[in-house]
Amino acid sequence: MRAYPAVELSRFRRLLQERSLALRASIREALLRGDDERYAQIAGQVHDVEEDALADLLIDLNLADIDHHIRELRDIEAALRRLDSGSYGICKRCGELIGGARLEAYPTAQRCIDCQRLEEHTRLGTAPASM
């Protein structure tokens, strides 16, 4: 089985760790923003159903951001575990190397592009275009 050179793996590890730190900072900011006076002001000024809906929407958007960041953090942690185990960059379906360009764009990728397309078509119940 082929693998990426150690220097490449170190670079991917650094990218993943940097993204993890950025996500953690974003989550922290979002949580603090939730306690911010602006949100309290909006909630305190609610006088009708439309304003109540706006306040709820702002809170929901904040929570959705946090949820998205947490899912990405979990993907990063899983990728770091694959780096530690020596399976990073290897497609979990076919066992081939995941393309370097794909890992550059999506460093938490678990499948090569062809297997990912197949996975998405299977999940959606559609027939894949010929590859």
Q: What is the pLDDT of residue 107?
A: 96
CA distance 6 to 97: 14
Q: Output the CATH code of domain 1-88.
A: 1.20.120.910
Q: How far is residue 121 CA from its own chain's centroid?
A: 20
**Residues with Cβ within 8 Å of residue 119, at least 6 apart in sequence:** 93, 111
Let me know how long the chain is: 131
Reply yes or no on whether the pLDDT at 87 is more than 70. Answer: yes
Tell me the mean pLDDT in the region 89-98: 96
pTM: 0.76
25-77 per-position pLDDT tens digit: 998 888 887 666 455 555 555 555 555 565 565 666 778 888 999 999 999 99
Q: Where are the domains of the chain?
A: 1-88, 91-131
Structure token pair of residue 60: 């929901």
